[in-house]
Structure formats: structure tokens, C-alpha cells
Amino acid sequence: MLRRQSSVIFLVLGLIACNGGSKGKSNDSPAAIEFPPAGGGASFTNRTSGAFTFPAPNLSEDDLASHVTGDALFDEVFVGTQGQLNSGLGPVFNNTGCRSCHIKNGRGMPVMGDDGALRSHILTRISIDPELLTQFPGALPSPGEGPIGVPGLGGQLQDYAIFGSTAEAKVKIGWVDVPGTFADGTTYTLRRPSVTFSGANAALLNSTGVLSSLRQTPPIFGLGLLEAVSDETLLAMEDPDDKNGDGISGHLNHVWNPEKGALSIGRFGWKSSAPSLIAQTAGAFAEDMGVSNPLHPELDGSSDINIETLKHTAFYTQTLAVPARFNSSDPSVNTGAQLFKSVGCQSCHVAQLVTGSTHPVESLRNQSFSPFTDLLLHDMGEGLADHRPDFQATGSEWRTTPLWGIGLAQTVLPDSAFLHDGRARTIEEAILWHGGEAAKAQEKYRNLSADQRKALLAFLKTL
Amino acid sequence: MTFHSIKKLAVSTSLLLMISCGGSSGGGSDDRANLAVQAEQKAILTQFANAVIIPTYDDLAAKSAAMKEAAALFAGSQTQANLDATRAAWIATRTPWERSEAFLFGPVDSNGYDPQMDDWPLDHSKLEQTIKANLTSPTDVATAETDVKGFHSIEFLLWGYNKSKTIASMTAAEDAYLTELTQDHARITTLLRDSWTSGASPYAKVLSSAGEAGNDKYASTQSAVQEMFDAMVGISDEVANSKISGPYKDQDSNKVESQFSYNSLVDFQDNITSLRNVYFGTLNGTVASASISSFVKARNAALDAQVVAGITASIAAIGVIPEPFRDSLKDPAAAPKIDAAITTINSLRTLLETQVRPVVLP
């Protein structure tokens, strides 16, 4: 569409006029907080609801053009009507386009099968308990010993369908209050989801041996940087046997890579079950929208979208800018940054990572940045456990969530929520759900004074 | 592709152009603005929320409710007068909606109300299928795909291609679907209005309390003003480079929004009026003391006058293009007028981005 083309021209002209464009100005105050810019050269200063939607300022002209192409594809809405533009939706699906869940590229909202304005921002992964495999004739092991699909339903429930088809199930989320108390006596109330299936497959889904787990839409900026961290760097951070005795024993996931036909290190998804952004994107087209693609073709080898569309869409997620941190004059932010360390958050939410020198996108190479994640899997305790293993991630392990941009989550989408199933309505609730390896840090947080808790949250709001 | 989505791209890319030229444009993300400026910004935000956004959404919800009533009357009695009244109600509802498009942020966006009401283009074959499927419950319409509902599906049912719709050609199934669509439209516009005025965290409060302790959306008045400013500039980009230029450069009438009612150019003018309302902090063309206009005028009166002139010129330039735009975009005699409108609106956009922005977001 011409609108897109003219955008590219505008952008390129803008860049030429400015001698290659300015780097995203970071307002980080070096004296106060000694972290590198949030996204290295991909940092960009904007603290509005559009904060997650900008291209990285350090892209080459060609890469910027690819990004804009990917942006347009990200906006496409697929339809079920054959022969029409963007046909290929379904027959069953969770949503109709990338942007339908990734509104403004932010965290999703904990809505499922709502009144139609948003469809579902949470999806349900399903699989067969490997121990009970023999009870499910027709269930086949998946490549790389990944989750075993439920016969007839696969690895994900699609709760919508095009005209003339039936959704696999409807999923309703109810919430159950979970009370708690801070050391200073202040009480709080968390909530956990309670899921109800309805429709023809409800009995199957409720049977023993069928595992299910909710997955909320994650924010998608900065992902190229996480992809560009070298395998060696990640392997060096692993400490599966807690040899350093800090009570933290993170390890990597090794997952099926459909591009290579072999196992690779997992980096994306709540349990690190996707090895690359192209694999993640292809999986989302196939599972979330029912759109076949070169990595998930139809039985006859054809697909609804071609490899260029897939690559450009993935490229968009590789090349979004990371919002620069908010430079607050509030002195408690500094206190909060110190508490972030002393409470132990930083043991897993590692402030600084460095990318390798081999990523195909030049601007992603050799960047020092602050995602606040180690990309490792950690046991998060019974409270958060979904009891659904995913490759080498156990039923209680989750990948450390990057905290960059978390202070903008509800600026971008006011009703967005935290953790894998959107149970945490605030950042503080998310902290309070931490258990397992993070139980000690959670305990320390609960023992902070009200002012200290406020300071720590004030710091997180600047990310 | 939804028209809705084009809007967002237009905003982000135009901002990029501006910001890649560096300088002071990175402002808006910290709280360095001095206290006096913060107080002014707070007053501007409060005025904007209470005197522009809420009354516009109030009007939209009321006009949409009236459209629902008109459609119900028409369903009960298929007379020409009742059809005309429903058409008039559609056009009346269109005005506040188009005049809200210079502030397409907050719940209208994050709760998905925009595509629910105003998806474009519509999917004609799916619309036929949907009508044939005889959706009868409000839930069915609520969960229908957005490209078969909202303003433009209603518009198509009321006017048809080339205003060819007559009472005789309106089927019972079409009339039933029309009734349901207007009910759904009234439901959504009410949700939108309420999201700004009621509930645990009304969005008007979110905006006007920017920078206060406990506001977890906007850590500073500066970032909230930037939100406001970005959306205001965004609509000028959208009108010039998407709504007008898109179909015109492609010579594709099918891309013209509001083409069934021949209301396209009025839509575009109302979009610029929406920009004016944001800039002035009122709906009636007067300038509020707490407004971006007054803020700019106090620092650079000539610049403010340029913006006001640019707004007036833009509305006038759209006004001389012959309606229906779906036909005139292919008329060589109209081409200079269309070119002039695009140029005029882009001049206003450039002025706002390059000269007004550094004043408003120091």
C-alpha cells in the first residue's frame, strides 16, 4: 500500500538529512545507576503509550525499510474467506493477526474469549503427561522430546473458529483470591486463575493425563538483542548444580529448532521453548492464527504465507527499539536500585548482557544492554508451577522475564498484567508470587519496610 | 488490513522522522521540566481531558444511541422517512467520532474499541455471508469479526454502492443485521465514554494526574503531554498521507473511507477540527487559557499564529475538493486541489513536528 511506501521514503530522507540519524538519546543518569543503556544502541527515549512501537534508531537504511515492511505485515488481519487478500485464517485460531494480541507491542491483558473487542490475549498450551502416554492411543512423541500433543487437538487450544468450523473449546478464566501478609503486618490479596473448559472437548481436556497451561502475550521489543547474545555467553551463565552456592541454579532449555531440524538453545517464550524469532513467529502464525507457513506447511507442502512474509515479520520483532529508562529526580529510585541488588533480584534479573558479533542484523552486534534477565530457567516454586514440562523446563521452571520496559507496561496497555497467566495485576503482586529459587528474595521483599518496598517499586517503574 | 492499523503506523513513522533529526525532540521522558512548566502542563492535561475528550465521547455515545433508536424505528416501519432519519443519524454520529481521532490513545486503542467501531475497509463477501447466517443475538454481533461491523458496515447497509440502496432493495436479513450493528455500536461507544469517566481508574483521571505519586501510567506531566502531542500530530499525517494520499496515489476508489455516504471529505475536515480542538483545549474554536495554543503563544506568538493559520488553511483546502472523493480522485480537474490539500496539511504537520514540538516539550 502506498502509505507504507511513502513512510519508508520519509524515513530514509529523514535519516539522510541527519547524517545517518542520531542514536537514541538515553537520559540515564550515570551517577545514580550504573547500568548500560537499556537497549544499547537500540535505546530510544519515549515514555508514552507508543514507547514499544519505534524502530531501533541504529538500523541501517535497508534494515529500516525491512522493519517498516515487517510493521505493515504485523498489522495484517487474516480472514477465513478463501481467495481474498490475507486468506488462510484458521479454520481454528486464537486471534486474527499479530497486532490483535500484540497491541502496541505490549504485554497482553488477562482476557480470554471476552465480549469480542479483544478476543483472547491468553492462550492455552496443552499436552499429554509423558508418564501416562500409553493411555492416549494416537499420541505421538514430538521431535526433540518436546510436549506431546493431545490427539485431535495438538499442543495448543484454539478457542475461535471461522464460519462453518467449531472452536476446539471455550476457556473461561475465573480468579481465586490468595491472601498474604508483609512482615510489617500489612495484608495483601493475590489471585490465581481457575480455568474452566467447555465445548465438545471439555471431557478430554479435564481427563487425567492432559496437561494445560496458560500463556499471556509478552511484550516484543528488544528481542533481537536477546537473540544476538551468543550461546557461549548463555552457557557460561548456567549453574545447574548451584556450584557457587547462591541458592540459584539456572539452566538453559534445549528445544527443537524447525529451521535446523535439530536441538538449539531455547530463548523465547515463558519456558524458553522457542530457539529463534523466526521459529517463534512461524509457530505463532501456525498455532495462534492457523496460518500455514514454510516452517509449518500444509500436508501438501504449500503454505498460506511465503518465506519473505515470515522473515519480514520476524525481522520486525528483532529490530524494535528498547525504551530508555526514565531519568527520575526522585531520590528513592536510587535506594530502590540498591535494594534490587541487596534483596537478590539481580541474581536472576541480570542487569547487563552483551551481544555476540555474528547476528545477521549488524546493528544488533556487540551491544552492551540492560534487559534484567539471564535467559535461564529457574524453579519458581509450587505457587507458579503449571506442572506441564516443556522440553527441559520442568513443571515449576520458568525463564527469567526481562524487566526492561516493565515500568511502561501499563502506560502502553492500562489493563495489562504480569506473569505467564496474567495473574499479577501489579508489579508488586508479581514479586510476591516468586517462590522456589526466588523464595529467599521474596521473603526479603516481604520483610522490607513500606518505604523500602515503595523505593524498590519506584526503581522498577523507571525501567 | 484494517484502517485502524494504518493509523498506528502513520503515527509511529512520522514521529520517527522527527525524532531521527534529534535535538530536543527526545524530551518528554523525564521530569526535568521545571515546576512552573509542570503546573502549566497539568492544567493543559486537565482541560484537555475534561473539556475536549469527555464531551466528545459523551456526544459520540449520545449520537450513537440516537442512531440505534432511528434504526429500530426503521426496522419497525420501513418508510423512506425512517431510512433518511437513520442515514442522518449515521452522519451525525460520524462527526464526534472523526473529531476524536486526534486523540486515539488510551482505552479506544488498548481496549480495541477503534476497530470495533471503525474498521476499514470492510470485507464485502464476509459481510454477505454474515447477513445470510442470520445473526440474531447481540452476542453474535459482539463477537463478529471487526471487518463486518461498525460504522462502515452500517454505512454500506444504509447507502449501498453509489448510493443505490432503496427501501425495496433492503432485505429483511439486512435490516435485522443493521439493527444489531447499531445496537453494538451504541454499546461500544458507551464503553468508550465510561472508560474515561467511571470505574476504578477513569482515564481522564489518569491523564490529569500525570506525574503524581500513585500514577502508574504517566510518571511525569511531560510524558502525558507528549502522548497528547504525538496523537495530535499523528492525525495530520494520517489525513494527508493515508486517508487522502493513499487512494489518490493508487487511483483506487475502493480505499476511500466513508465512500458509501459520500461523507469522506467531511470526515477529513472533522479530523483537522479534532486537531484544532486538542490544540485549543475546547470544542468551539475558542482558545482555552490552559491549552497547547496558549502555552506556545506565551513563548512564540508568531509560531502560534502560524499553527492557527495552518489549521484554517487545511480545513479550507479539503473543502474545495469535490465530493464524492471516490470519484474526484480520478478527475484530472480535481488533481491540483487534492495535491494542494495534501501539501497544506503536510506543512501543518511539519510545522508541528519541527517547530512547535521543541516549544511544547522543552
DSSP string covering B57-80: HHHHHHHHHHHHHHHHHHHHS--H
Asked whether the beta carbons of A7 and B17 are under 8 A apart, the reply is no
Q: What is the pLDDT of residues B349-362, one digit of tens each?
A: 999 999 999 999 98
Q: Are the beta carbons of B11 and A50 separated by less than 8 Å?
A: yes
Q: Is residue A179 reached through a cis peptide bond, with omega within 30 degrees of 0 on the bond before it? A: no
Minimal CA–CA distance to A71: which of A94, A105, A46?
A105
A110 vs A425: CA distance, rounded Å: 9
- The distance of A356 to chain B (nearest Cα, Å) reads 26
Low-confidence ranges of chain A (pLDDT < 70): 1-33, 83-84, 114-117
Q: Are the beta carbons of A14 and B22 separated by less than 8 Å?
A: no
The SS3 call for residue A196 is: strand
Q: What is the pLDDT of residues B312-336, one digit of tens each?
A: 999 999 999 999 999 999 999 999 9
The more confident residue out of B101 and A16 is: B101
Q: Count of H helices and E strands in chain A?
A: 13, 15
Residue-level pLDDT at B24: 34
Burial B192-214 (b: 16+ CB within 10 A, else e): bbebbbeeeebbbbbbbbbbeee
Residue-level pLDDT at B137: 67
B186 vs B63: CA distance, rounded Å: 9
∠ at Cα B136 (B131, B141), nearest 5°? 75
Q: Are the beta carbons of A411 and B15 separated by less than 8 Å?
A: no
Q: Is residue A57 reached through a cis peptide bond, with omega within 30 degrees of 0 on the bond before it? A: no
- The distance of B241 to chain A (nearest Cα, Å) reads 6
Minimal CA–CA distance to A384: which of A394, A393, A396?
A396
Residue-level pLDDT at B130: 80
**Residue A230, Cβ neighbours under 10 Å: how many?**
16
- The distance of A389 to chain B (nearest Cα, Å) reads 33
Q: Please check whether residue B107 touches A, CB under 8 A.
A: yes
Q: Is residue B336 reached through a cis peptide bond, with omega within 30 degrees of 0 on the bond before it? A: no
Within a domain: A414: yes
Asked whether the beta carbons of A330 and A458 are under 8 A apart, the reply is yes
pTM score of the predicted model: 0.87
A61 vs A160: CA distance, rounded Å: 40
Of A17, A71, A118, the CB nearest to B112: A118
- Angle B264-280/B301-319 helices, nearest 10 degrees? 170
Query: What are the angstrom distances between the C-alpha of B352 and each of A454, B19, B295, B360?
Result: 38, 13, 14, 10
The SS3 call for residue A373 is: coil
**Residue B183, Cβ neighbours under 10 Å: how many?**
19
Residue-level pLDDT at B31: 53
Residue-level pLDDT at A78: 86
B201 vs B110: CA distance, rounded Å: 14
| Domain span holding position A241 | 2-88+229-278+306-461
A189 vs B274: CA distance, rounded Å: 43
Of A45, A115, A117, the CB nearest to B29: A45
What is the chain B residue with the closest CA to A57? B20
A10, A25, A26, A48, best to mutate vs chain B, most B CBs in 10 Å: A48
- Alpha carbon dihedral B246, B250, B253, B254, in 10-degree steps, equals -80
Q: Please check whether residue B138 touches A, CB under 8 A.
A: no
Residue-level pLDDT at A117: 65
- Which residues in chain A have their CB less than 8 angstroms from residue B223's CB? 47-48, 411
Domain total for chain B?
A: 1
A78 vs A98: CA distance, rounded Å: 9
Q: Are the beta carbons of A48 and B105 separated by less than 8 Å?
A: yes
- φ/ψ of B312, rounded to 5, equals -60, -45
Cβ within 8 Å of residue A279, ≥6 positions away: A257, A258, A259, A295
Average pLDDT of the residues of chain B: 89
- φ/ψ of A424, rounded to 5, equals -90, 120
pLDDT, average across residues B203-226: 93
As for the ipTM of the complex, it is: 0.80
Query: What are the angstrom distances between the C-alpha of A24 and each of A40, A152, B13?
Result: 9, 49, 15
Cell of residue B295, nine digits = 502555552
Q: Please check whether residue B126 touches A, CB under 8 A.
A: yes
Asked whether the beta carbons of A146 and A154 are under 8 A apart, the reply is no
A9, A16, A46, best to mutate vs chain B, most B CBs in 10 Å: A46
A7, A82, A363, best to mutate vs chain B, most B CBs in 10 Å: A7
**Pairing state of beta strands A170-181 and A187-198?**
antiparallel
**Pairing state of beta strands A43-44 and A322-323?**
parallel
A375 vs A190: CA distance, rounded Å: 26
Q: Please check whether residue B252 touches A, CB under 8 A.
A: no
Of A27, A426, A461, the CB nearest to B29: A27
**Residue A382, Cβ neighbours under 10 Å: how many?**
11
Amino acid at B2: T
- Angle B264-280/B292-299 helices, nearest 10 degrees? 60
Asked whether the beta carbons of A87 and A448 are under 8 A apart, the reply is no
User: What is the Cα Rg of chain A in Å?
Assistant: 22
* Cβ-based contacts under 8 A for chains A and B: 196
Within a domain: A80: yes
Residue-level pLDDT at B354: 96
Domain total for chain A?
A: 1
Q: Are the beta carbons of A84 and B123 separated by less than 8 Å?
A: yes
Q: What is the pLDDT of residues B21-80, one digit of tens each?
A: 333 333 344 555 588 999 999 999 999 999 999 999 999 999 999 999 999 999 999 999
Minimal CA–CA distance to B225: which of B355, B30, B67?
B30
Residue-level pLDDT at B201: 87
The more confident residue out of B13 and A378 is: A378
Q: Are the beta carbons of B112 and A79 separated by less than 8 Å?
A: no
Q: Please check whether residue B103 touches A, CB under 8 A.
A: no
Q: Are the beta carbons of A6 and B245 separated by less than 8 Å?
A: yes
Q: Are the beta carbons of B226 and A48 separated by less than 8 Å?
A: yes
- φ/ψ of B263, rounded to 5, equals -105, 10
- Which residues in chain A have their CB less than 8 angstroms from residue B242's CB? 3
Of A1, A18, A47, the CB nearest to B22: A18
- Residues facing A257 on adjacent strands: A262
Within a domain: A443: yes
Q: Please check whether residue B188 touches A, CB under 8 A.
A: yes
Q: Please check whether residue B122 touches A, CB under 8 A.
A: no
Residue-level pLDDT at B121: 81
- Residues facing B106 on adjacent strands: none
Cell of residue A405, nine digits = 520496559
- Which residues in chain B have their CB less than 8 angstroms from residue A461's CB? 216, 219
Three-state secondary structure string covering A44-90: ECCCCCCCCCCECCCCCHHHHHHHHHHHHHHHCCCECCCCCCCECCC
Q: What is the pLDDT of residues A80-134, one digit of tens each?
A: 777 667 788 889 999 989 998 999 999 988 887 765 567 778 999 999 999 999 9
- Residues facing B120 on adjacent strands: none
User: Looking at residue B53, which CATH number applies to its domain?
Assistant: 1.20.1420.20
| Domain span holding position B197 | 3-23+32-360
- The distance of A261 to chain B (nearest Cα, Å) reads 33
pLDDT, average across residues B73-98: 97
Cβ within 8 Å of residue A429, ≥6 positions away: A188, A190, A191, A418, A423
**Which segment of B43-47, B127-131, B234-238 scores lowest on mean pLDDT?**
B127-131
User: What is the Cα Rg of chain B in Å?
Assistant: 21
Within a domain: A359: yes
Residue-level pLDDT at B21: 33
- Which residues in chain B have their CB less than 8 angstroms from residue A18's CB? 20-22
Of A117, A412, A462, the CB nearest to B112: A117
